[in-house]
Every structure is written in C-alpha cells, then in structure tokens.
Structure 1
C-alpha cells in the first residue's frame, strides 16, 4: 500500500505566497496531495487592496501550476478554521511562512500549534528566502 500524504499550505493575500506553495510542492512525492488554504475573516475583503477577482485568479493559477487544490474559507477565527481544515482533510504536513510577530500571542504559527491536538509536521519557510528572491527579481529588471 502506498503511503499518501496531504500537505497543507497556508497562504495570505500577499503575492509572495507562491514561495510557500512552491515549498509545499517540493515536499510532495508523486502520490501526495497538495492543498492550498486561504482563510479570511468574515466581513473582511478577501485580498485587501488587490481586486478580489484578480487576487482569486492569481491564487487559483499559482495553485494549478503546482497541481494543488485551492480552498478559500471565510471564518471569524482563522486558527480554528485552519485547525478544522487540517483535521477534516487529515493533513500530515502544514507549510507556513515565517512570522514577523514579536510575541507568541501574536504569532499565528504558535497559536495554530496550540490548537492542533495531534502530531503534524509544521514546515516554516524562512522570510530570507523571499528577500533573496525579491532581490534577484529586482536585479533582473
């Protein structure tokens, strides 16, 4: 029997989320499933200042390029929504970007870890990878 894993990538409204999806894809083996999830609080715009249709299309296209399934969820409690999704989908690995928050209470990764009641691997993509990519893009323009 083949051991099929599910890898969940948590993304925000930032266009830099492709680095997270790419990392999730790098973790995937042929039989694994890649799930991209964006949670937005109810009564908030889905993607901030970006036009919602453009932002949704961008996320969909990037997810499709990496053979991932995209889910956009509206909920008042982001951590609970991510936790419910992880349990429902029986996720094995969660990929998230490094937090810039200075306290554990503000840190989404820490708050999510506290809500998860089972062993999951949480893969943190360091921020410096994005800075290096941004510099390379700027240099090539």
Structure 2
C-alpha cells in the first residue's frame, strides 16, 4: 500500500459498529449496502479523494486526488470502507509493479519474485490477506 486512510477508515468502521450495536441500521439499509463495513483497496492510478494518484511518475509525486472515481463512489455507497491505494507499474504499462516513486512490489511469499503488473500492489495485498477486496479498473471498449 502506497498511501492510506487508516484513521478515517477506523473511524468509519467504529461508527458502523456502534450503529449495529445500538440497532440503528434497518434491514433495508443492510440490503442496500451489501458491503457495509467491508474494507477495500484500489490501484494507485484510481482517483480516491485525498490519496496519491501519481501513476508512478515523479512529475506527479505530490498529486492527490480531489474526487473519487465513479466505481469508488459506488463501492462506498454500497457500504465499503476504503483503506488506501496500492502500487502499480509506471502508467499501468509494464508487466511488473515497479516505478521510480515506490519501487518494486514483491511477492509476499517469495521476495525473489514479483507480483506482476499493472495491479501488482492489489495482487500482493490480496495474497497476503491484507485486504479482502481489491478493486482494479479495466477499460473495456467495443471494437466494431
């Protein structure tokens, strides 16, 4: 994970726990929020408000997203709690998650191996059970 919002995520989780304990969440809300309280992560190239979105480029070193991507908004609306963003290959273009800002993401079980790219940070987090859900954005276009 290359940038996180652990404090905010913990606060959100505690608020949900308190509402559940107090019986302040209806069955309807549970059904409308199937991921209520479930933590998740996403690639660093995903716009997640307040978190780094450098695409692994030094020229974007201090760039933070000022909004959430649509699919991040949708997952949050479904109750998910964003933990942070994970390493990517530079510009999501290479077969390894390596870039000049964060370096190479290695396999958590064998550091002589990589986790691939472009979503290698997500692969690493999932393999290490550091996140239950890793979101990656894939653009699918129709070819006529």
- TM-score normalised according to structure 1 size: 0.31
More helix, by proportion: 1
Of structures 1 and 2, the larger Rg is shown by: 2
